[in-house]
Structures are given as structure tokens and as C-alpha cells.
A and B are shown apart, each in its own frame.
Chain A
Amino acid sequence: MRLLLHQFRAEQKLFWRSRELAFFTFLLPIVFYLMLGSAYGDEDIQGVGGYEFLLAGMIGYGAAATAFAGLALLLVIRRESGVLKRLRVTPLPAATYIAAVLGSIVVIFLLEAVILIVLARLAFDVTVPDSPASLAFVLLLGAGAFSALGIGLTALIRSAEGSSAVVNAIYLPVAFISGAFFSPDAFPELLQLIGEILPLSHLIRLCRDVIAYGEPVLEHLDDVAVVAAWGVLGLAVALRRFRWEPRER
């Protein structure tokens, strides 16, 4: 427990000191919320206000940016720079280390979600969700599933140099077709279909149901199942393929 806390504090320090990572994963969803909101926040989208619609999209996007992309980048850089390898010869247990890294990322994502929700409430009059329990469940589900996918993704990235290109090439298009930035209704059917298969559209829908429509998460277990299934897939890849060492040259 002492070790977990020690490592958690270090992870927080490392995250906030890494300005690029903090900007792209933490700040960008908030910046996008303000930008896109200024464009169509006052319109009605799918029966809800633009700001409400966007809030759900940006929380989903935040999960992809922080828990998926941010975590994957952070772990690949540490693996390729030899930091992970060096940790393995210290008494710090691997499970404690991973738990601290995950815990730190989840806390950052939750903080981001809370900032978005408070910002939406104060600046744009978006109502706070009726069921905090449903919201908390959805946020933790998203953080867990996307973290697992992020760790799984590290197995597919071979070098630190190419890592941000690979990560961005995956999560940015996914965020688009999943409707994080605007409604995907106008997209071609094929894109919509791909979006339906991927987990982010379901996470965003869950956020929207809970935040904008005020529905409890229990009424949308099908979406929960898809997000969870992707999380399990990520976890399976992570458990089988995660490496602590840089690739041999």
C-alpha cells in the first residue's frame, strides 16, 4: 500500500510535468469542448442541446485520449527508454506498478470529466446528471476499458519514434466516426457501421443517456456489454503480449 501510494504520487508528478502529454490528453478535450460549443452549442442535436450533446462526446473523447492514447504513449516511451526494464530489478512488484500507473490515469480522466461537467453547468447551463451513480459507473467503465485497450496497444507498437503517429492514427478517426465531435448521422453507412462496432460510440452513447437524457445506466446494458467486451479484449492482449523491454535490435 505504501509502495502503491509512493508510485501513484510519482506518476502524478510525471504526468503533469510532461507538458505535451498533459496538453494532448487532458487539456485538449476541454479546449475542443469550448471551440465546438462556440460553433454549435446552441443548436439542437438529436433532441438535446448542443452543449449537452458535446459534453458526452468530449467525455468519451477524453477517455480515448487519456486512458487509451495517453497511457499507450506513456508505456511505450518508458518501455523503449529502458525505464520499465530498470524497474523490474527493483523490489517494486509489477502489479503494484501497473496499478499505480492505471490509478493515476483514471484519476486524471475523472478529474477531466468533472471539469467538463462543471464547466458545462456553470458556463452553458447544462444540467448535472440525475444519477451520479450511473455517471460514476459509466466513467469508470470507460476508463477501465480504454486503459486495458491502451496497454494492449503497446504490444503492437514497435518503437517510441513511431508511437504517437500510430496512436493518433487510431484514436482520432475513431473519435470522429464515433460521434465525439458531432453527430455521425450524416456519415456514410459503412462508417456508421464501423463506428457501431467500436467501443467509443457506445461509451459516448452511455454518457449521453446518463447526462443528457437522464436515463439510468441499467437501461443500456447492451452498450455496457460492448464497451466491457472491448476492455476484456484489450486485457487479453495486454496479458499475453505486454513487454517490459525494448525490442532487440
Chain B
Amino acid sequence: MSAVEVTELRKAYDGVEAVRGIDFQIGAGEVFGLLGPNGAGKTTTVEILVGYRRRDGGSVRVLDTDPERAGGAWRARIGVVPQTGELFPNLTVLEHLELFAGYYDEPRPPREVLALVGLEEKGRSKTRTLSGGQRRRLDLGVALVGNPELIFLDEPTTGFDPGARRAAWETIRSLRSLGKTILLTTHYIEEAHRLADRVAVLRRGEIVASGTPAELIAQAPASVIRYRRAGEEVVIQTEEPTRVLHDLTARALSDGFELEALEVHRPTLEDVYLDLTEEQPE
């Protein structure tokens, strides 16, 4: 059974279409990455799925319920880490977790959540004294304390330094191993690649590609051969790197020139992503 089913979802703000008829499904226990540049419609999509916003068209089922008609019992099954937003500066970390735990019938013990998000040392600190990364971990803790089965993470690591990002990835992986279903939005390709079972690339409100990271890479146009000649960079895209390279090196040998800085490059998810999300001239 799918945890999330989205069909032909549409949403416009003041006549400007932010989401233009997208479809995707997320299976139970899956980590799904919604990848795209800023303004592609990621947050709008998440906000519709969690019930903050009403859609203009299409159908949405989240845990077998339409979020627009969902009640408290449904909200107890989801957890949301919003992209922005603060908590109470005068409450401690543990007090936040206790406050939110009180909203659920079967919460996860706050101290356990403290450990899960790596804030054991900070339980008694007021939120206003936390660093940005620690606050973000508390955001995650607040979303997890209800022990939800489906978790929405809207750009959970934006603004993190590389160390903090890796730590956050570990936490998300541990959630996955607990059997949680996760929808993750990000504009970091590496993040989607490392964490997501499947990825949909969103561009200007449309899904321009979707599949496992490996499938997306396989869709890539071609291998890339680069070298420099007389100071000019030459880039060749080809489906037959072996033959092209053979011809190229043969010509270089017979004509007696050097292929400076020669490299053959398999496309990465980043290349695919940049290719897909690049603003094409209209």
C-alpha cells in the first residue's frame, strides 16, 4: 500500500502556477526525495500533503486520507519538519519535547527522542542558546516525538556545515531503519542520492524526471570526454565513449599533438540534475 499518492496535483498563487499537475507515489517504508531548485514547488507540495494548504486540482491521499479532511487521529500519524520557523525561546529542549509529547496518545519518550536527534547534552538548555544546527535537530525531535509513521522533512539540512549534514543523514538513515516512511525535499543532489530510495526532480512545478538515483543516472545523455587543445576546452558528449576516445587518441598520435587534461567522465546525479533543471531559453 502506498503511504502517499499524488495525482495531477495543481496549485496556483494569484494566478501563478506553483505546482502544475504532478504525480507520484511513496510506498510504505520508502525514503522519497523531492529534488529541485528553490522555487520549483517543493514546499508547496509538502504543505498540501500535510494539510496546511488546499489544492486547486488533482487528488491527494496521505495514509489513505485526504489531508484537507483529516483530523487529529491522522495528524498523530505524521511528523513535519518545516523549512522555516522557530520554537519557544524560553523553553528548554526537553520541555519542548515534553510539551509536544503531551499532544499524542502514544508518544515516544522525550528522553529517547533526545538521544535519537543527538541532543542529550542539551536537554536542559533554553532553545535561544542553541546553535542553528541544534535548533534544526530539535525541529526534528519535535516532529518525531509523536512517533509518526510518515515524516515530512522540508530541506532538513539547508545551511548545515558538512559535518552537521553527515550527522543529520545518519539520523535520517536510522529513521528509515525504524521502518518510517520519509518524504525529503532538498536542493542538494548528494543528499537525495545518499538518502532516497527514489527521487523525483521538480522544475517549475513539474516533475521532469523520477526513479531511483541509479535509474536517473542511466537516463543521462552520455558520457563526457574533455580535453584542452591550444588553451581551448573541448567537450564531447557521446553514447560511445570507447570508439570516440579511440578515434581521438589515434588522431592525436598520428598528428603529434597532446590531449591536455584528458578525462572521460561518467555522468553523476549532479550532471543529470543540472541538465534537467537548467533554465532552457524559451
Contact = CB atoms under 8 A, between A and B. Distances in A.
Q: Contact residue range for chain B?
A: 20 to 34
Nearest to B72: A91
A14 B99 CA distance: 11
B24 interface: no
A17 interface: yes
A90 B82 contact: no
B102 A83 contact: no
Given A10-B99, A91-B103, A86 B85 contact: yes
Contacts of A86: 80, 82, 85, 87, 142
A91 B102 contact: no
Contacts of A6: 99, 102-103
Contacts, number: 62
Main secondary structure of the interface of B (DSSP, over half): loop
Interface string B48-64: 00111000000000000
Contacts of B86: 81-83
B146 interface: yes
A81 B85 contact: yes
A132 interface: no
Given A18-B90, A83-B88, A93 B52 contact: no
Contacts of B75: 89-91
Nearest to A93: B72
Interface string B138-167: 000010001000000000000000000000
A90 B146 contact: yes
Interface in B85-144: 85-88, 90-91, 95, 99-100, 102-105, 142
Contacts of A92: 72, 103
A89 B78 contact: yes
A225 to B, nearest CB: 38
B85 A83 contact: yes
Which 7 pairs show the lowest CB-CB distances between chains A and B? A82-B85, A91-B72, A17-B90, A6-B102, A81-B86, A90-B103, A91-B76
Given A6-B99, A17-B90, A18-B90, 6 more contacts: A10-B102, A83-B85, A86-B142, A91-B76, A91-B146, A93-B72
Interface of A: 3, 6-7, 10, 13-14, 17-18, 81-83, 85-86, 88-93, 245, 248
9 contacts: A13-B95, A81-B86, A82-B82, A82-B84, A82-B85, A85-B52, A90-B76, A91-B76, A91-B146
